[in-house]
Structure 1
Amino acid sequence: MPDDERRDPRISGNAFTRTAKLAALPAAFAGRTTLGVGKRMVGRPAEAVLSEVQRRTADQIFSTLGQLKGGAMKFGQAMSVFEAALPEEIIGPYREAFTRLQDAAPPMPPSVVHRMLAAELGEDWRQRFTSFEDTPAASASIGQVHRAVWADGREVAVKIQYPGAAKALQSDLRQIGRLSRMFGVLVPGLDVKPLIKELQDRVAEELDYSLEATSQAAFAEAYAGDPDVAVPPVVTHTERVLVTEWMESVSSLAEIISTGTQAERDHFGEKFARFLISAPQRVGLLHADPHPGNFRILADGRLGVVDYGAVARLPDGFPPAIGHLLSVAVTGDAEAVTEGLREEGFIKPGVQIAPEVLAAYIGPFFEPATVEQFSFSRAWLREQMSRVMSPGTEGFGTAVKVNLPPNYLLIHRVWLGAIGVLSQLEATAPFRAILLESLPGFADQGQH
């Protein structure tokens, strides 16, 4: 292996370093937990001790994930959309570092980039471009993007996969899977195992840029000329290189979360929600990676959307049962909601749940659809998460009884992720009207 590849922190030569950093987390976690038990024995309130353990755990988790690539970065990006649900005293000092996971990673050396392009596009790869910038314009968990000019004069984005990305992803995700109990400390009751399992299952799919190219091309065709959403068309691709038209942006949704005005938060929050909910009906696909770094702000006010490596294939759009159940939930018919969820497999045969308890548990999923304009906020989301996920609460008891059918896994993740992003934005949006436009089976309350 060439020397410059050994030095690249994303390549297998540094797998030991990544594994060592991840492996150090459980020991520190065990020490903090033992310390917490000792403090409780000498009279410290349990809530104060848990908060201290949470802060120390958050410190090490966030700082470690920030140094890792591969699967650790992918996991950090997936988790970052839930940042708004974490208690302010826990997330406050780390918000900037955690959000940075959504948009940044160190670059590959130019020599490695050139070898990748030669291997994927041919030794004469430079003839395909009139210019190519060696310094990447953006980088993320499994690849980085370079700006270039295609031979026909079009400005393009060249997405190049990191060498050894597959091995790094699989190794990191296996290791993170062993540490899943730690992450529940940040939000008691939160189970990240399904998220890790989903990331593991989708590694092969996300590593194949040919699949991503097919998905992006479908989105680009469906949204061509759209006044609100822009999707860059695909120029060419291989399994490890993807070339698309360049999309000039002035900022990202992550920046709007950090510094945007309320008008910008509302404007782009509405476009974000409308895109996610309209896509299955228009494209037959659901963009399944809704972290803010994938949504760009264009100078003309449109929302640019990138990264189509993770999609849910919904050729017939959202299942009509989702819209129907939301409609029934909005009317307050708890028994009908319970029966509908049982029919869809969310409640396994033999499991008994009181309809009114279940209705309260799923409130965050349908509450935004009960009013003309709903104001999302961090405080609202934290309240909902605490109500349904804190041990000892009625909601937590309900959570362990609810099943998630495999065909709803990605939909569930995107729905929760979208609520998380809208809460980060603290956006006010006509969520019910958006559902009425694009969600099959959803009808206005007045029709029931």
Structure 2
Amino acid sequence: MSDLPRKAVTRTAKLAALPLGFAGRVTWGLGKRIGGKSAEIVTRELQQRTAEQLFKVLGELKGGAMKFGQALSVFESALPEEVAGPYRAALTKLQEAAPPMPTRTVHSVLEQRLGEQWRELFLEFEEKPSAAASIGQVHRAVWHDGREVAVKVQYPGAGAALLSDLNQLARFARLLGPLIPGMDIKPLISELRDRVAEELDYALEAQSQRDHAAEFAGDPDVKVPDVVHQVDQVLVTEWIDGIPLAEIITDGTEEQRDRAGQLLAGFLFSGPARTGLLHADPHPGNFRLLPPDEGEAADGWRLGVLDFGTVDRLPGGWPATIGESLRLTIAGEAEAVYGLLREEGFVKESIALDPDAVLDYLLPIIEPAQAEEFTFTRGWMRAQAARIADPRSPAHQLGKQLNLPPSYLLIHRVTLSTIGVLCQLGATVRLRDELETWLPGFLPEEAEEPEEAEEVSGA
């Protein structure tokens, strides 16, 4: 972690420079307005300059700032392409540049957490990490009983750096005003801080993974590796091979793409109902497509699921409001949909919107839920993004006035991320089947049998 500025003074200074730069850009924008440039052009240029500096600082800090940058990705489709473009480039570079820990540091952590004789726990241990991220890295190894395992080692000091970054970012929430108009950012950062604190706790992650592994044991569609061993800052789980979803995206057959898409949708929508937990980090790196075992049908590919560090706790399953809103939107019940959105805080009390305009905003987005099966494509995704991002469109003007309640932060992130992956796959998916099965409120309630009437007539 040599290039992660760990000194609080250094990190705080970098973040503190953000509002100063923002003030300068506002002054610059005012000067442009006086000079005759249109408000729309100035706003776009201001957004782009703000984004470039914000993402530059996030990239330098990594740690919690990187986590915040990843969380911002849920809003990407609402940003103009000239703003979203630098964001994507910065985040991609950030992810690719995650530096591995020096070998001696890995050995030091393992010695502290597993004991001086830690090597005796393994028959083999690969020194080169198989994956590195913002909080820790993974090494492939063979456990002492012969099982192949993944050893996740947390970066020393990562926890303090992450939480410090998020505390500092909370102070500068107003910076995001030009990027995400109308959004109440402070409670979102607070929610993100709570989730990141959980992600640092490998005991919580181990329990979440055990819960999923137990529920999906023997499942014909999903494989979750079990937890082998867990101590502070070290998590050992079963290793699973298979084809990384990123390879299916680039080189998979149509059959593999469709199968992967259906499995991904099925896992993410069924999870809260089956475990009370929502896997909240659905990017391609966390999934594998596992080939059928010998003797199984050729179409029996399964989805291997990794990394349960970020989960949303939904003990009652998906909120019924989501299913009800989808059903009412499909039915064209504008007033009822608007009422639900106001109740849940998607429309602030201080804002009044036209229910029919809200319905028009939502209908194209929920198109995949209306069809028997839907082919997700990058073109469809781009069309949705363009409709919302165009400052001249009614959808853009309305979208700026909507809010995201903190309790829906991870749900929103998961939904958008999943749709993004399905579009990358180009998968044809029977999404409606999954919604009907797992989403409370999506199907109309069946009429209750008039039990009392039957009793009276039979008396």
TM-score bracket for this pair, using the shorter chain length: 0.7 to 0.9
Equivalence for 1:3: none
Mapping of residues 169-180 of structure 1, within 5 Å: 169-180=162-173
SS in 1 for 2:151: strand
- Larger mean Cα displacement after TM superposition, 38-47 or 147-156: 38-47
The question of 1:211 aligning with 2:204 is answered: yes
Equivalence for 1:443: 443
Equivalence for 2:68: 75
Contact 2:4 2:63 in 1 (8 A): yes
- Equivalent position to 2:276, from 259, 263, 284: 284
Equivalence for 2:384: 381
Cα distance, 1:341 vs. partner?
A: 4.6
How high is the sequence identity, in percent, across the aligned residues? 56
SS in 2 for 1:66: helix
Contact 2:110 2:118 in 1 (8 A): yes
Distance 1:183 1:423, change over 3 A: farther
The question of 1:414 aligning with 2:398 is answered: no
Task: Tell me, in whole angstroms, the C-alpha distance in 2 between the residues paired with 1:41 and 1:173.
Answer: 37
1:259-302 per-position Cα deviation (integer Å, ceiling 9, x unaligned): 77777655433332222111112222111223443334446654
The structure having more radius of gyration, on CA atoms, is 2
Distance 1:149 1:278, change over 3 A: same
Distance 1:445 1:390, change over 3 A: farther
SS in 2 for 1:399: coil
Task: Tell me, in whole angstroms, the C-alpha distance in 1 between the residues paired with 2:251 and 2:181.
Answer: 30
Mapping of residues 3-22 of structure 1, within 5 Å: 8-10=2-4, 12=6, 14-22=7-15
The question of 1:230 aligning with 2:233 is answered: no
Cα distance, 1:84 vs. partner?
A: 4.4
Structure 1: gaps of 5 or more residues? 1-6
- Larger mean Cα displacement after TM superposition, 148-157 or 315-324: 315-324
- Equivalent position to 1:141, from 134, 140, 146: 134
Task: Tell me, in whole angstroms, the C-alpha distance in 1 between the residues paired with 2:34 and 2:431.
Answer: 48
SS in 2 for 1:156: strand
Structure 2: gaps of 5 or more residues? 293-300, 448-459
Number of positions where the alignment pairs a residue of Structure 1 with one of Structure 2: 436
Cα distance, 1:223 vs. partner?
A: 2.2
The question of 1:399 aligning with 2:402 is answered: yes
- Please give the TM-score of this superposition, normalised by the length of structure 1: 0.83
Contact 2:80 2:390 in 1 (8 A): no
Equivalence for 1:119: 112
Task: Tell me, in whole angstroms, the C-alpha distance in 2 between the residues paired with 1:259 and 1:32.
Answer: 44
Matched letter for residue 233 of structure 2: R
Cα distance, 1:234 vs. partner?
A: 0.7
RMSD of equivalent CA atoms: 3.5
Contact 2:212 2:275 in 1 (8 A): yes
Cα distance, 1:22 vs. partner?
A: 2.8
Contact 2:183 2:401 in 1 (8 A): no
Contact 1:248 1:298 in 2 (8 A): yes
- Equivalent position to 1:245, from 238, 246, 257: 238
Matched letter for residue 182 of structure 1: L
Matched letter for residue 336 of structure 1: A
Distance 1:261 1:34, change over 3 A: farther
Contact 2:346 2:402 in 1 (8 A): no
Cα distance, 1:258 vs. partner?
A: 6.9
Equivalence for 2:28: 35
Task: Tell me, in whole angstroms, the C-alpha distance in 1 between the residues paired with 2:66 and 2:194.
Answer: 16
Task: Tell me, in whole angstroms, the C-alpha distance in 2 between the residues paired with 1:265 and 1:338.
Answer: 36
Contact 1:10 1:162 in 2 (8 A): no
